[in-house]
Amino acid sequence: MISLKSPREIEAMEKSGAVLAGMHIGVREIIRPGISSWVIEEFAREYFKKAHAIAAQIGFEGYQYATCISVNDEICHGFPRKKLIFKDNDLVKVDTVVNLDGAYSDSCWSYVVGKASDEVKRLMDVTYKSLYLGIDQCKVGNRIGDIGAAIQHYTEDENGYGDVREFVGHGIGPTMHEDPMVPHYGKAGQGTRLRNGMTITVEPMINTGTWEADTSDPSGWLAKTADGGLSCQYEHSLVVTDKGPKILTSQDPEADAAYLYDDNYAEYLAHYAKLAKEVAKKYMK
């Protein structure tokens, strides 16, 4: 069943989204060559605790961590690992879900460690642009297929990348994963029609080679590219409104000004970004 959110519920998700965006701002302070991916996990746990938020992924279907941290050819659902040490040009995806007073938000962001190669820069640029091309299709009266078609045409047809099929976006709230499923591939004009008040995630996962994934990892979680190519992901939670799509997990209210639900978001983010940077200082030594 698809739930339509009230203004009160959207405002609660907006605050939850600011908590999550604050975490990503903190990650940017920390990530560097020579640290392990476990450092980000520790930071996230401490920050969420101080923000009075719940790391919603812990305990979800047996998952034990606050974050998913996937590197280079890992598409998604990588565990944070003490022995995984970052090096220059690593492409790192950090994905997490936050529950703040019952309101959920979900966002993944990609980071390059140290110096980036042209290959990594281009993949990140294309994936990031595809995120917003998909978001721009999240208008009342459009269909789910319009989102995926815009992303797939840009990433595959125009840029020759692989657009992952095995994992998709989804509705969010009142729990982590809700209907409808939101593929980042598809055909325009098909699928569920978008309505005012729908809250969903758009989360393209784009590979340098094939779109196919290898899901044979014994953990039962980690997915890699089938050909060993690089994979990149960006994800926002958003609400469909009569005034267009409104992002609930923005890290840059100025750049995303046209996509903000209301003026409260920038104030929320300023508060949580400050908190995240204070917590991050401990992990920058």
Q: Is the CB of residue 210 less than 8 Å from the CB of residue 73?
A: no
* Residue-wise DSSP of 77-118: -PPP-TT-B--TT-EEEEEEEEEETTEEEEEEEEEE-SS--H
Tell whether 271 is in a known binding site: no
Tell whether 95 is in a known binding site: yes
Tell whether 170 is in a known binding site: yes
Q: Is the CB of residue 29 less than 8 Å from the CB of residue 111?
A: no
Q: Is the CB of residue 247 less than 8 Å from the CB of residue 255?
A: no
Cβ atoms within 10 Å of 151's Cβ, excluding its own: 29
Binding residues: 77, 95, 106, 170, 177, 203, 235
Residue numbers belonging to the annotated binding site for a divalent metal cation: 95, 106, 170, 203, 235
Annotated binding-site members for substrate: 77, 177
